[in-house]
Amino acid sequence: MSRLTACSVTALVALIAALSAPSIAVAQQATVAAINRGVVEIETSGAAGISVRIAEDLANLIDDGTTRRVVPVVGKGSLQSLTDLKYLRGVDMAILQTDVLDYAKEQRLLPGLESSLTYIARLYNEEFHLLAGPDVKNFAELAHKKVNVDLRGSGTAITASRLFDSLKIPVTVTNDSQEVALDKLRRGEIAALAFVAGKPAPLFMGLKGDDGLHFLTVPFNPAASSAYAPTQLTAADYPGLVAQGRPVETVAIGSVLAVADLRQLTERYRNVANFVDIFFTEFQSLLTPGHHPKWQEVNLAAELPGWRRYPPADQWLHRNVQVAGVPKPDDLKQMFARFLDERRQAMGNPVMSQQDKDALFQQFQSWQRGQRQ
């Protein structure tokens, strides 16, 4: 009798387990669905740059704990991120350098890129940093010396190649990570390291220049590419490396938040559209203290010539043109004057008088009004 009872109990337990299995599976499926609800993945460059911090700011802005979530993915530079955006499963967006987009288009690296890739917004500018050892005094002295340009396929590698070629300075390229390259530079194993990153880049913040490390002036060549603009590294950016009142001239490269081709992936397309709505609507909060200062450079309405904007982003801007962060007239005038000063200084021309700047700005405004008609 006891054996029969034991068998009956075993059978009963097995029956209960069998009956409850479907409900457990359903519960697990519901949990998986809840965790993945509203998720978008955004690929950044390496951790030494600032795009990881930018993605973190976006994640904190977008995430609501239940229906929206941003998952940052650390990549290996803009060219690899661009490839991932086109082919890697799950990557919805990526922060890319604009000159890398131009390079990929010129070289026809990814078939159908122009028709499939769209962008949400132009972001901030990143600066080309060229840090040299004590034996190198100027850009030309790097000829035939070792210069690290980050990993192969990185945005820095693309930009450095284009800049060195345009200025006709042949260098011996190395491809170590920036942290390894900095150590080699200190030991004198390489002459310089190049790094495209938004200033102030964390990699350089702790450097004092006591061991002779210093930034080199990078000449601006207007014929090199429309993707580059003159800019400066100042003592405010790097107090340990740049002397007060003696800024270092260099070039800036734009960045953009690009979107994968999601037209056939309804749920992911909808998730990114929801991301855009929150990002644009709450954009002003990213300008407050506690967020990366590069957000101050972002104008959501700025366009990227030659590329199409992601339709939900374009539609939002048309509905909310006054909220999109278009510069006020006074701010635009100051930006215009600064651009003139930096461009003329980079080309070796004297600074323009305020009267001439005002006259030129009025001409610009007249041209701008004509473009809108």
> Which is nearest to 157 in space by CA: 177, 138, 137?
177
What is the domain partition of the chain in residue ranges?
1-36, 39-326, 327-373
Q: Which residue has the tokens 């260099």?
A: 250
Which tens digit of pLDDT belongs to each residue from 180-199? 999 999 999 999 999 999 99
pTM of the model: 0.76
User: How many other C-beta atoms can be found within 10 angstroms of the C-beta atom of residue 177?
Assistant: 16
Whether the pLDDT of residue 371 is over 50: the answer is: no
Which tens digit of pLDDT belongs to each residue from 44-77? 987 777 899 999 999 999 998 778 899 999 988 7
Whether the pLDDT of residue 317 is over 60: the answer is: yes
For residue 328, name the pLDDT band (cuts at 50, 70, 90). Answer: low
Fold of 39-326: D-Maltodextrin-Binding Protein; domain 2 (3.40.190)
Residues in contact with 96: Cβ distance below 8 Å, sequence separation at least 6, in sequence order: 78, 81, 82, 85, 155, 255, 256, 258
Mean pLDDT score of the chain = 84
Whether the pLDDT of residue 352 is over 80: the answer is: no
For residue 372, name the pLDDT band (cuts at 50, 70, 90). Answer: very low
What pLDDT was estimated at residue 145?
95
| C-alpha distances out from residue 102 to 87, 92, 268, Å | 19, 20, 26
Whether the pLDDT of residue 93 is over 80: the answer is: yes
Q: What percent of the chain has pLDDT over 70?
A: 79
User: How many other C-beta atoms can be found within 10 angstroms of the C-beta atom of residue 42?
Assistant: 27
Angle ∠(229,129,70) on CA atoms, nearest 5: 85
Whether the pLDDT of residue 350 is over 50: the answer is: yes
What's the rounded mean pLDDT across residues 291-301? 92
Residues in contact with 35: Cβ distance below 8 Å, sequence separation at least 6, in sequence order: none
What pLDDT was estimated at residue 225?
63
What pLDDT was estimated at residue 172?
95
Half-sphere exposure for 327 (CA within 13 Å, toward CB)? 13
> Which is nearest to 196 in space by CA: 120, 102, 100?
100
Whether the pLDDT of residue 119 is over 50: the answer is: yes
What's the rounded mean pLDDT across residues 75-82? 85
Residues in contact with 188: Cβ distance below 8 Å, sequence separation at least 6, in sequence order: 133, 135
Element (H, E) at 69: strand 69-74
Which tens digit of pLDDT belongs to each residue from 229-253? 899 999 999 998 999 889 999 999 9
What pLDDT was estimated at residue 299?
92
Q: Which residue has the tokens 């690296």?
A: 109
Looking at the chain, the number of H-run helices and the number of E-run strands are: 12, 11
Which tens digit of pLDDT belongs to each residue from 203-221? 898 888 777 899 999 988 7
- Which DSSP string corresponds to 273-340? HHHHHHHHHTGGGGGSTTS-GGGGG--TT---TTSEEPHHHHHHHHH-GGGS-PPPHHHHHHHHHHHH
What's the rounded mean pLDDT across residues 309-337? 75
